[in-house]
Chains A and B, each alone.
Chain A
């Protein structure tokens, strides 16, 4: 079968799973919906493998295969087809997306058992995977926008999944609004591209761009910046990042899937896909890289101070995506995509483990209340340590090979690009530190009461409440279910986590410098026209960068060990000493407050004004006036309906006389 036939199947299975779950939710009992969804995505993964294998059957320079189902619109110069593009880049993405999604679905089957909205969850989740695959497989800008928008909706639906929780619905709205800002950027960029080049189709556009635009032409930079707005909104980079920490209100598997492994990587994919435009407008690419750098340092600092377990991991995600953005902006496309893959593995693993920990703690997410869970949760703790090691880029883990390859490339490009390397290594130190901050705070130290209970084999229970505000809840539909599931007890959970753990350790073997370059070689088929792709550092330089990275990671982990295990109280002393700095970090650099004051409140005031003045006085006034005029005319005209027969006869004869007069005059 051709690659695109596999491609259509990859899209078809999740869509079918979504429809089955959406329409059949009433008749499904127990975990049926979960298994249906998982199998649907599993089949999609199999088809993704099929597509890749089929694509490898093509020669190296002929790996961009398109196929279109039907023409969506064909008028007035528009020619939009429902068409997909299967090339190495999209094949890589669908493998990662469907593979990690299968594991997360598997995990969710057990994690969300006893939730009253079980089938709805899996319907949304399947729909999300379908949308993400659509976004990645799109062969033209219109389908990209469609997939982009669907993914935004799915994210909203899943963040507000526990819809009776007010914090969750607010977070969902926030995410959606910021996503829409990104959508606007993307749509405007598409308009510009259409205006300049006259086509929406990827391959046509990419062929035309170098001929139509001069290097760094103003219009092209504008297009790229608009694309970046879209990318940054979706990937939660500065300044459009504020939605991601709040998005942790959704169920933990949702955080794992959408806000770690797949949706937030859409921005990275976009920049990599549009490499032709960015290489033709290097200024925009540099701007993108700088924003990525700023984000990754900013997020790392916040992760040092925040105390909610899921939010630490969320900031870590923002930071790691900053790495990927830097990677694809400076030309390290293969390294950036490789980092995307490994990050998906270990970040999903971290979230899954966090979910298990939160379950064990009966719903609490505050790490200040956690400690000493190592003995009570052997599986979870080991897997979480693996994830943290990968995150910290510990030597020979997968994260080690991916992250440090980006930084090595930055050094290799020289000039001012070295800044990215310096910033990157600094943030790597912070990353290692906060990764093990989590580990040591949660698993080391004196066991807290919940841990002690669990050691005796009894899972802790607490009255259901909102982990953020402490508000009381119940366990009916719209709130989390009453049972908590941990990896030690539910086989789908530890199976999924173990697979990810294995991949986090050994996922790096596909891209060892000097030994094999599987990812690089595979992706080359998508970057045939790139000037930067071939410009790779030497093996020795690569290993130099890797060694430096490994050293930094070990230093970071040791510092964390020292601060949390050897001399507990060090961090408290540091907080006292650097009070204002700590306050800045813990309040996330006051971004939320800034947006609240500058954007939200003024808009609210405008809205209120419009309602009070414009709506009530002007609009209603005009409408009421129109009604009154009509009514007045009606009253006047009604006078003719007096009920007197003789009056009617008078009108009759009067009309007849008038008619006669008209004809008399007309005859002359």
Chain B
């Protein structure tokens, strides 16, 4: 039973990921990412991380992705030219990604870490519940919690500044950058 759940989630995640990088239309890529995120939430559930799974759906897939959808709609479809200006990029990129994967796989599979080979210890009840996460956040990781909120504030202010309107409405502020 657990295998079925795992493979469902895994296929959803990998499929969504491949769809993200393969789709021409960015809008479709965004949708593919949403599917990927939902599949990941399912995997989190398998790992006894209920709160994280919920946060993933609500925050990530719910808020951040909606943001992406807005911008994709605003910006519209981008025609990516077929020709690749950087020599060797088309060939090297998949190669290097594959190399990275192979190295990581070797590292993981060849490792002598015992914990990784087992299913893990029997977990206490309440592991991964919002209760426990809340306790941890507000007791042990309070400073981290506060710092994270600071970060959010800074990001929000920064985004507003960056996307602010220029003096003259919607006219270019600078000359186009000339392709070098």
* Same complex: yes
Interface residues of A (CB under 8 A from B): 642-644, 646-647, 650, 653-654, 656-657, 660-661, 664
Among the listed A644, A654, A664, which residue makes an inter-chain contact with B106, where contact means beta carbons less than 8 Å apart? Answer: A664
A205 to B99, CA, bound (A): 81
8 A-B pairs with least C-beta separation:
A660-B103, A657-B99, A647-B86, A657-B100, A644-B86, A653-B96, A654-B96, A643-B180
One of A643, A647, A656 near B100 (C-beta < 8 A): A656
Kindly provide the distance from the CB of B87 to the nearest chain A CB, expressed in whole angstroms: 9
Q: Is B122 an interface residue (CB 8 A)?
A: no
Query: How many of chain B's residues have a CB under 8 angstroms from any CB in A?
Result: 14
* Pairs across A and B, CB under 8 Å, 25 listed: A642-B86, A643-B180, A644-B85, A644-B86, A646-B86, A646-B89, A647-B86, A647-B89, A650-B86, A650-B89, A650-B93, A653-B96, A653-B100, A654-B96, A656-B100, A657-B96, A657-B100, A657-B103, A660-B100, A660-B104, A660-B107, A661-B99, A661-B103, A664-B106, A664-B107
- Closest CB of chain A to B94's CB: distance in Å? 11
* Contact residues in A for B180 (Cβ distance below 8 Å): 643
CB under 8 Å from chain A, chain B span 64-91: 85-86, 89
Query: Which chain B positions have C-beta within 8 A of A661?
Result: 99, 103
**A interface footprint on B105-147 (CB within 8 Å = 1, 0 otherwise):** 0110000000000000000000000000000000000000000
Contacts of A646 in B (CB 8 A): 86, 89
Residues of A within 8 A of B1 (CB): none
Please give me the residue from chain A that is nearest to B99 by CB atom: A657
Find the B residue at minimum CB distance from A661.
Answer: B103
Residue of A nearest to B107 (CB): A664
B92 within 8 A of A: yes
Structural contact, B97 and A653, CB atoms closer than 8 A: yes
Residue numbers in A under 8 Å from B104 (CB-CB):
660
Closest to B100 in A: A657
With both chains docked as a complex, state the minimum distance between the C-beta of B158 and any C-beta of chain A, in angstroms: 20
Q: How far is the CA of A643 from the CA of B107 in the complex (A)?
A: 34
Instruction: Please tell me if the beta carbons of B86 and A664 are within 8 angstroms of each other in the complex.
Output: no
Collect the chain A residues with CB atoms within 8 Å of residue B100's CB: 653, 656-657, 660
Q: Which of B92, B97, B103, B106 has the most CB of A within 10 A?
A: B103
User: A647 vs B96: C-alpha distance in the bound complex, in angstroms?
Assistant: 13
With both chains docked as a complex, state the minimum distance between the C-beta of A640 and any C-beta of chain B, in angstroms. 12
Measured CB to CB, the nearest residue on chain B to A658 is: B99
Closest to B104 in A: A660
Closest Cβ–Cβ distance, residue B176 to chain A (whole Å) = 15
Query: What residues on A are CB-neighbors of B103 within 8 Å?
Result: 657, 660-661, 664
- C-alpha spacing A653/B89, complex, angstroms: 12
Query: How long is the Cα–Cα vector from A642 to B106 in the complex, in angstroms?
Result: 33
Most buried by B among A644, A647, A657, A664: A657
Question: Distance in Å from the Cβ of A644 to the closest Cβ of chain B?
Answer: 5
Distance in angstroms from A665 CB to nearest chain B CB is 10
